[in-house]
Each structure stands twice: as C-alpha cells, then as structure tokens.
Amino acid sequence: MIAVEENPQNVQQADIVVAIPTFNEASTIGRAVEIVGRGLREHYPDRSSVIINCDNHSVDGTREAFFQAPVDVPRLYLSTEPTRRGKGANLLMLMEKITALDAQAVLVLEADITNVTPVWVRLFIEPIFRGAAYVTPLYVRHKYESTLTSTLVYPMLRCLYGRRVRQPDAGDCAFRADMASTFLGAPAWSEAVEGTGIDVWMGTVALTSRAPVWQTLIGSPKRHRAKDPFAHLAARFRNVLAAMFDQMAAYADFWKRVKWSKPTALFNLDGREMDNPPLVEINAVRLHQRFVEGFQENEALWRGVLDPAAMNKLDEIRRMPYEQFTFPSQTWAAVLFDAACAYRRSAPEERLRLLDSLMPLYMGKVVSFVKRTERMSVQQAEDHVEETCAIFEEYKPYLVDRWPS
Amino acid sequence: MAKILVVDDEEHIRLLYSEELRDAGYEVITADSGYKLLERIEQEKPDLVILDIKMVDYDGLDLLQDIRSRFYDLPVILSTAYDTFKEDSKSIAADYYVVKSFDLTELKKKIAMALETHLPG
C-alpha cells in the first residue's frame, strides 16, 4: 500500500503522530505543519512526536513544501501509487505505518484548515491520554453547514449505533494508536471508503468497537480554503451512503441490538472561546426544483424500492407548492431505511444507480430543513436536528423488521 | 426495580418526584444538594440520576461532567425550570432533559427510555 516512504530523520518511534492527508496541497501544507509543530512543542514538549504527510502522489510540490516548513518536529512522508487516490487510501497507509511506530495517540488533521491553531493539537490529543479511544470534534457550525451530516449522517449513525456523535464525518479526528489495528482488520473497506467515505467508515468502526468515543469542543468553526460546497456533493453523497450501507450489512448483529442512544464523554467544556461560524447560504428554490425533477428520472426505481406508504407520501410532498413544502422526518427515515434494505438486496452493479437516485430526495429534505429553521437561531435549529434523531430512533423497529437476513 | 436518585434542592420537587415515581414502580432516593454526590452514587449505585441544574450551592451542569467522567454510562436526566440552559454546551452530556412540571408524563417517558437504552458490549 505504501508506495513511497521518505524518513530522513529515521523516526522509529513516536508517542504522538500527527497525520496530514493531502492531494496537491502545496499551498497549504506548510502552514499546517508549522501550526501543528508549535502545538506539539507547546503542549507535549516531553513526548516524542512525528508529523506524517500521507499523500496521493501530488504533483504540485506538496512533498517539498512539507519538508521545507520551518519546524523542529521530525517528519515522515508517505505516498500511494500515482494511480491511487482518496483520503481513505492515504489513511490506510497511515494505519500500516502506525503499527510500526509504537505510538500512543494519533491526530488526523486536514491540510487546508485556515484557522487551525496550536491548541487544537491539545484539544484532539488530550482526550486520548484521558481514556478516549476515538475523538471527533465539535466545530462551531452555522445551521446550514454540513446539511448532509445534520439531516442524514448524524441521525442514521446515532440510531444505528447508539452514540450521539454530532459531527462523525468532520474530516478530522484523533484515536488511540492501538485502534490502527482495529481499523486495518475492519470489514466493508471499499472504493467508496478510499474516497470520501473514510470518515463515516472510521467513525462506525470506532462506535462498534465498544471503545470509548469522546467529542472535543473546538470552540471555533472549521474554515477551509474557499471552495464550492456543492462542487463534489454527488461523489461525496454516493461515497458516504455506500460506506454507511456496506457497514450496515457488516455490523447488522450489532445495530439490531441497539435501542435508543446515549451521549458521549466530552472534552473542553469549560473552553469559552466561541467564535461565530461563517454564514452559509442555500438556494432552496433551486434544490426544490432538483427534488421535483428527480421524480421524472427516478420514480420507477423508487416505486420498486420504497414501501408504498412512503411512496404515497412522496407523491403528496411532490405536489406541495414551494411555499408550503415540508418533508416529514418520519418519511425521510422510511426512505433511508427502505433504501438501505434495497441496497442490501441489490446486485453490486445496481447499487450506484440506487444511491444516485436518492440525491434528489436528500435535496428535498434539505429544502424542508431550511424552510423549517430559517427563522431559528443556531440553537433552535440544533433542537430540530435532535428531534429528527429522536424520530429516527423511534422508527428504527421498521428497519429491523425489514432488514434482509 | 430500578433505583432512581433525585438531586434537587427544592423539597417540594423531591417530594413530588418521589411519590409519583414510587407509584410508577421505581425505588427512589433523594439528595438535597450536590455535596459528596459522586460518593453517594458510588455507595447507592442508582440506575439513573435526575439532576436539578440550578441549586443554591451547586451547578448541575458541572456535576453532570463529574458524573460523566467517573460513571461514563450512568443515565442522567437534567431537570430544570427553564430551557435556556440548552444553550450551554455542557448540557449535551445528559441523556435527556425535562422542564420541571407538575405533570410528570414527559419525565416518566424519558426515564423509561433512558433505562431501556441498550448498547451491545
């Protein structure tokens, strides 16, 4: 898996590993390395550490920028083969390397976070030294940031695996180093996981490993280099759902026994450096149009997959004018549960078509979420997300009853 | 019979909760403050804690963090006169929260859910 390894300082052991997965991040990785290096020196001066760049054979000088960053922390560079892409592929190399480093704690941080500060290293790593096995961040988010998480990933993972991990696919995480072997041995690795499904996949492995999962309050939003949030939505949506549905098959014996949900332990609750999240604007009219158009393309497929009651409800929703549009969470849960069962029954070549067909329905759910919460504060919108999760949990027996054995 | 520890500095709330929850089939013990709460939990081993947020000498949200760090999966229901506390991120460490009322239907529903919650392992 590791096609290229450069270890100029001959690092053989490190208590703390900070991994930065990249593909063509020459313009951002230098700053990330510098900040992380300062964080390690300020907060863990007595522990050995290494920063690892897990790269997809970038051609823009990422590797050079990584080594040139002015930091006195040892560095190690790993790369996949030129043809192998995806954050999942990057992290698979990391897992292999960690097992050889006798490490204790691992932090995975994306390269293009523009507001990362040295204290983030402590916020992610400290829970590991206090007993956590897997740590996800709680970034400050605008109510319309990461609607895929709020309307789909969080309610599904919570009702399936029973832990309230609010941002399981945030892109950054920390884990106890011995979890690397758990990840390496976990089922349902796929092309989707090698791409953008990796965050959901790792979160699910951690949740089913019975190891303690914590959340850490970062107290800031996660600011990326400017990019269009919808630019890669189709691929991300497909990969996330494929990873989730594949893992549902692998962990059916686990999630069928989960009833309701529990909170996780939290870190940095006394941290009060709350920063306002950047405004996120959504063109709900356009999304509504995509929802309606989705019927023309996918109605026949949906009728073969969804329960007639859910299909009737979708018909009703389609006829609603935009002004009165609402997509009830019960119907949304039924759609996702039916789709998960259909995915399980489908031949592999039919699955992508099924996943893609769900995209317009997701857009309809986002329209409903936006309309319902447009006059709400962030906290009120958060309460609405919690209500959605409670509906998914109440409705879970529907899934358990229908799940193909 | 599940054992519930009610922590509230208002006597009439302790009495109300005790009577109603005993009638509902629970064993109920009470505490009028957060004083030595963790030791009490260690000794009494309740199945669930109902915790007032605003007590004269104690902050229920701080107590909740102490409980979580020592008894990771012990169900805790926050009980409060106002729902503004939800803006405090500490409250998400609770299993559920209820706004105090003389009608305990919601509280009883949340108690049943918290006690029924099952995670493999």
Q: What residue segments make up the domains of chain B, in order of their start?
A: 3-116
Closest CA to A236 of A284, A190, A206, A193: A193
Distance in angstroms (rounded) separating the CA atoms of residues A41 and A43: 6
Condensed to tens digits (0 to 9), the pLDDT of residues A175-234 reads 999 999 999 999 999 999 999 999 999 999 999 999 999 999 999 999 987 665 666 899
Condensed to tens digits (0 to 9), the pLDDT of residues A43-67 reads 999 999 999 999 999 999 999 999 9
Reported confidence tier of residue A285, pLDDT bands at 50, 70, 90: very high
Q: Which of chain A's residues have a Cβ under 8 Å away from the Cβ of B67?
A: none
Pairing of strands A75-79, A265-267: unpaired
A313 and A208 housed in the same domain: no
Q: What letter represents residue A364's amino acid?
A: G
Condensed to tens digits (0 to 9), the pLDDT of residues A360-394 reads 999 999 999 999 999 999 889 999 999 999 999 99
Distance in angstroms (rounded) separating the CA atoms of residues A105 and A204: 19
Q: Which of chain B's residues have a Cβ under 8 Å away from the Cβ of A161?
A: 119
DSSP 8-state secondary structure symbol assigned to residue B89 = G
**CATH of residue A91:** 3.90.550.10
In a domain, A308, yes or no: yes
The mean pLDDT of A311-316, rounded to a whole number, is: 97
What's the confidence (pLDDT) of residue A279? 87
Range of the domain at A255: 4-267
B contact set with A (CB within 8 A): 65, 68-69, 72-73, 75, 86-87, 89-90, 92-95, 113-114, 116-121
Residues in chain B: 121
pLDDT of A1 strictly over 90: no
Q: Which of chain B's residues have a Cβ under 8 Å away from the Cβ of A262?
A: 73, 75, 95, 117, 119
Closest CA to A317 of A359, A384, A368, A366: A368
How much of chain B exceeds pLDDT 70, in percent?
A: 99
A181 and A102 housed in the same domain: yes
From A241, A267, A293, give the residue that closes a domain.
A267
What's the confidence (pLDDT) of residue A393? 98
In a domain, A278, yes or no: no
A193 and A340 housed in the same domain: no
In a domain, A147, yes or no: yes
In a domain, A20, yes or no: yes
From A267, A297, A319, give the residue that closes a domain.
A267
Residue listed under structure tokens 């012990």: B74
Contact A262 B116 (CB under 8 A): no
What's the confidence (pLDDT) of residue A61? 97
What's the confidence (pLDDT) of residue A229? 60
Which one of B62, B72, B76, B89 would you mutate to disrupt binding with A, by most A Cβ within 10 Å of its Cβ?
B89
A253 and A308 housed in the same domain: no
Cα dihedral angle (A288, A345, A154, A236), rounded to 10 degrees? -60
Q: Which of chain B's residues have a Cβ under 8 Å away from the Cβ of A379?
A: 86-87
A143 and A248 housed in the same domain: yes
What's the confidence (pLDDT) of residue A225? 72
In a domain, A31, yes or no: yes
Distance in angstroms (rounded) separating the CA atoms of residues A135 and B64: 20
Condensed to tens digits (0 to 9), the pLDDT of residues A5-53 reads 999 999 999 999 999 999 999 999 999 999 999 999 999 999 999 999 9
Residues in chain A: 405
Judge contact between A37 and A72, C-beta under 8 A: yes
What's the confidence (pLDDT) of residue A76? 98
From A240, A267, A294, give the residue that closes a domain.
A267
What's the confidence (pLDDT) of residue A270? 77
Pairing of strands A173-176, A265-267: unpaired
Superfamily of domain B3-116: Response regulator (3.40.50.2300)
Distance in angstroms (rounded) separating the CA atoms of residues B120 and A161: 9
In a domain, A277, yes or no: no
What's the confidence (pLDDT) of residue A359? 97
A39 and A108 housed in the same domain: yes
Residues ≥6 apart with Cβ < 8 Å to A25: A58, A60, A62, A65, A111, A112
A213 and A325 housed in the same domain: no
Q: How many angstroms from the chain centroid is the CA of residue B101?
A: 14
A127 and A209 housed in the same domain: yes
Measured between CA atoms, the residue of chain A closest to residue B84 is: A379
Contact B119 A262 (CB under 8 A): yes
Contact A266 B113 (CB under 8 A): no
A200 and A87 housed in the same domain: yes
A82 and A19 housed in the same domain: yes
How much of chain A exceeds pLDDT 90, in percent?
A: 92
Distance in angstroms (rounded) separating the CA atoms of residues B37 and B24: 25
In a domain, A224, yes or no: yes
Q: Which of chain A's residues have a Cβ under 8 Å away from the Cβ of B92?
A: 164, 166, 263, 266
Distance in angstroms (rounded) separating the CA atoms of residues A205 and A208: 5
pLDDT of A290 strictly over 80: yes
In a domain, A274, yes or no: no
Distance in angstroms (rounded) separating the CA atoms of residues A340 and A338: 5
Residues facing A17 on adjacent strands: A50, A106
User: How large is the angle between the packed helices A233-250 and A359-373, nearest 10 degrees?
Assistant: 100
A193 and A331 housed in the same domain: no
Domain total in chain A: 2
What's the confidence (pLDDT) of residue A275? 78
Contact A163 B65 (CB under 8 A): no
A218 and A335 housed in the same domain: no
Q: Is the dihedral of CA B70, B71, B77, B79 positive or negative?
A: negative
